[in-house]
Amino acid sequence: MNAKSDVRLPAVSVIMPVLNEERHLRGAVQAILAQEYPGEMEVVIAVGPSADRTEEIAAELVREDPRVHVVPNPTGRTPAALNAAIKASRHPVVVRVDGHGMLSPGYIATAVRLLEETGAQNVGGIMHAEGENDWEHAVAAAMTSKIGVGNAAFHTGGEAAPAETVYLGVFRREALERQGGYNEEFIRAQDWELNFRIREAGGLIWFSPELKVSYRPRPSVKALAKQYKDYGRWRHVVARYHSGSINLRYLAPPTAVCAIAAGIVVGAVLTPWGFVIPGGYLAAIVAGSLPAGKGLPLKARLQIPVALATMHMSWGWGFLTSPKSLARKVIASRRAAVLPDADADTAGAH
């Protein structure tokens, strides 16, 4: 790239919400700083009240490189961290990276090119799950298989195309500002909800397999179950808040939970034939784990059905038990956020 073309490249702000990321934060930031992007770049880390050395590591990174900045996130919540980092950043392209995500080489340059080529408001790619031990390898295999996550391109890959949502995302700042940033009431599913609003406003969300971010899975069954329960819980809030945003793929896990529970009850009380449903589900995830685990060590392959069942059942249970009060809280919060602006516009008209 020559000097003349370098001048045209937009400056980039990388925003990172982090909480208890001692294990991966330094590596994630180093992967950002190592990007071969000729344009100006800054990294803004929004640090929540962590119980490990995250804040200390963030401070070290600031001392080591003038491009790195830190802002506090007292709530510890992801959407609040993202909004704080957006507010503290200053460049026209905003790249979201999580504290346990590792950008592939050329990620930022490719994303900026795709924004220009497609006219999209947000571009993103593949959430490339990679483990560091047998359990994490099993979870990574489950998270990148269709039996684990359906046909979501940002998990399983696919051709470049418009999408409902993408992993993390590289945004035009104007799109974020037009939407008022992330809705801070969405503890989870804030990406999906924001991308839904961008699409509703006529903006394009673009998926490309050229973009890849390595992701470290949760380190235990308990942590994975909590993660997916929260996913299901908050995806139901999105469905209530934005009518028409649900599809059959999202209804599969709660349907499976209901069917398996009904089968167990029928099998225990009425007839052993009821156990056909949970038995069939078990057989399906065992069979599905075979191609998903190809090339992995035996201990990892044996744990893939556990990871699949944990993801499905936790997501489905979270969706089914998501209280309606969460949606009401979100709606009330959004109204409170937009009413002052409406009042200001009215005042300015007189």
Going by C-alpha positions, the residue among 145, 344, 158, 313 that lies closest to residue 228 is 313
Burial of 226 (0-12, 13-18, 19+ CB in 10 A): middle
Kindly give the confidence (pLDDT) of every residue in the chain, 350 residues in length, as a single tens digit, with 9 standing for 90 and above. Answer: 444 444 579 999 999 999 999 989 999 999 999 999 999 999 999 999 999 999 999 999 999 999 999 999 999 999 999 999 999 999 999 999 999 889 999 999 999 999 999 999 999 998 888 888 999 999 999 998 888 887 666 666 788 999 988 999 999 999 999 999 998 888 888 998 999 999 999 999 999 999 999 888 888 999 999 999 998 998 888 888 777 666 677 788 999 999 999 999 999 998 989 999 999 999 999 999 999 999 999 999 999 999 999 999 999 999 999 988 776 766 666 555 544 443 333 333 32
Q: How far apart are the first and last CA of the chain?
A: 52
The pLDDT of residue 346:
31
pLDDT digits (tens, 9 = 90+) for 146-164: 888 876 666 667 889 999 8
Alpha-carbon span 323 to 237, nearest angstrom:
8
Going by C-alpha positions, the residue among 196, 205, 220 that lies closest to residue 125 is 205
List, in sequence order, every beta strand (DSSP E) within the chain: 12-18, 41-47, 68-72, 93-96, 101-103, 122-129, 161-162, 167-172, 205-215
Tokens 């998501």 -> residue: 322
Helices 324-349 and 221-241, interaxial angle, to 10°? 50
**Do the beta carbons of residue 231 and residue 297 sit within 8 Å?**
no
The pLDDT of residue 27:
93
Encoded tokens for 16: 């990172």
Query: Can you name the residues that pair with 72 across neighbouring β-strands?
Result: 47
Q: Which amino acid is at 218?
A: R
Encoded tokens for 293: 């685990």
The pLDDT of residue 155:
67
**Do the beta carbons of residue 121 and residue 172 sit within 8 Å?**
yes
Tokens 């956020």 -> residue: 337
Query: Can you name the residues that pair with 96 across neighbouring β-strands?
Result: 15
The pLDDT of residue 350:
29
The b-or-e profile of 179-214 (16+ CB within 10 A means b, else e) is bebbbbbbbbbbbbbbbbbbbeeebebbbbebbbbb
CB proximity list for 72: less than 8 A, separation 6 or greater: 46, 47, 84
Can you list the pairs that 327-332 forms with residues at least 24 positions away whose Cβ atoms lie under 8 Å? Answer: 327/237, 327/240, 327/241, 329/185, 330/183, 330/185, 330/186, 330/237, 330/241, 331/241
Q: Distance between alpha carbon 291 and the CA centroid of its chain, in Å?
A: 25
pLDDT digits (tens, 9 = 90+) for 27-36: 999 999 999 9
